[in-house]
Structure 1
Amino acid sequence: MDELYLRKAQIQDVRQVHALLMDCAKKEFLLPRSFSQLYSHLRDFYVLAERSGRGVHGCCALTIAWEDLAEIRSLAVDEHLRKKGWGGKLVEACLSEAVTLGLYRVFTLTYQKGFFEHLGFVEVEKEKLPQKVWADCINCPKFPECDEIAMLMEM
C-alpha cells in the first residue's frame, strides 16, 4: 500500500466509497448509502486515499443540515487501518470545514458512541435536534425504529 493522505473526494472515488460503506453497513457500523446519494453529496466527502491514486481506504462526510448545524456522516475506514487514528483525522477534517463555513454545532447519529465521545461529542436526546435533521430517515430501513445514538459537538 502506498502512502495515505486525506483529500476531498473526486468522482472516480464513488465506487470505492460505496464498497467501503456497504461493507461497514453489513457489519452494522453505519447505514448504507446508494450510488445516487453518493453522487448527490460527493462534495460533502473527504477520503483517505493512496498518493498513487490506486485506492480509497476511508471516508467521512460533512453535510449541512441547517443554518447553524451540520452532520458528520458516513464515516468508514478499511478494517486493516482501524485503530490507527485515521477515523479521527477524517472527522477532524470535516470539523475544520464546518468551522470554515461558520458552522459551530455538529451532530452525528452513530453506533460508535465511545469513538465520538473521545473526539468531544456528547450524547443528546434526538428530540433536541431540529426536525429538518430527520428528512433522510424516511428512506432508512430502520425507520421509525431508529437505534442510532445522537451526539453533538458545540465548538
Structure 2
Amino acid sequence: MEIRTAKLTDVEQIQKLINGFAEEGLMLARSRHMLCEHIREFKVYEDDGEIKGVGSLHILWDDLAEIRALAIDKNYQRKGLGRMIVESLLQEAKELGVPKAFTLTYQPEFFARLGFQSVNKDELPQKVWQECLYCIKFPNCDENALLIDVNKKDGELTPPGKTVF
C-alpha cells in the first residue's frame, strides 16, 4: 500500500468518502471549498483509480498540529490502512518539526492503539477552537480529544495509562 499526497483531481472522491461517514454521524462533513483550500494537507490511498483512504495534517502553529478528516472505505478497514495514513501524517509532522499532534474524534480507541493519549478538550489551546465556531455541533462538541508526542521513537507505542507529554 502506498500513501501519496492528494491532488485537486482527488477532491470529489475525498469529499464523497468523508461525507458518507458524516451522514452516518461518524465524522464531520467537509465542503468542496475546504478540501480545495487545504488539499496540500491531505494524504490518500488510491486503489484502481478510487480513493479508499484519506487523512489530513493541519498545522496550527509551530508546536501543534491536528490529525483530521481520517476516513477509510468500509471494505478497506481493519487492514492497517488507517494506521499507515496516520503514521504518514505523524512522520510529516516530525519532519516539519512539530512536536505534538492531536485529534478530535469519535473513534478514540483507534487513536489510543497508535499511542495517542486522551486529554480534556479544555487543555487544548484556545486557537484550536477557531474552526469549531463554524461547526454544526458548536458549542456542544461530543468528540474525544487525544494527543501524541510526535518525537517518540519510531515504532514505539505508548503503553496504556502512560503519558508521553
Q: Same fold (TM over 0.5)?
A: yes
How many residues are paired up? 150
CA distance in 1, matches of 2:23, 2:45: 21
Q: Tell me, yes or no, if structure 1 residue 27 matches structure 2 residue 27.
A: no
Unaligned runs of 5+ in 2: 152-165
CA distance in 2, matches of 1:98, 1:142: 28
**Number of the residue aligned with 1:16:** 13
- CA deviations on 1:5-63 (whole Å, 9 max, x unpaired) are 2100011000000000000111222111100100010000000112x5x2111100000
TM-score normalized by structure 2?
0.89
Contact 1:60 1:75 in 2 (8 A): yes
Q: Tell me, yes or no, if structure 1 residue 135 matches structure 2 residue 133.
A: no
Unaligned runs of 5+ in 1: none
Q: Tell me, yes or no, if structure 1 residue 47 matches structure 2 residue 44.
A: yes
Give 1:109-124 correspondences, 5 Å limit. 109-124=104-119
User: Which residue identity lines up with residue 20 of structure 1 in the other structure?
Assistant: L
Percent identity reads 45
TM-score normalized by structure 1?
0.94
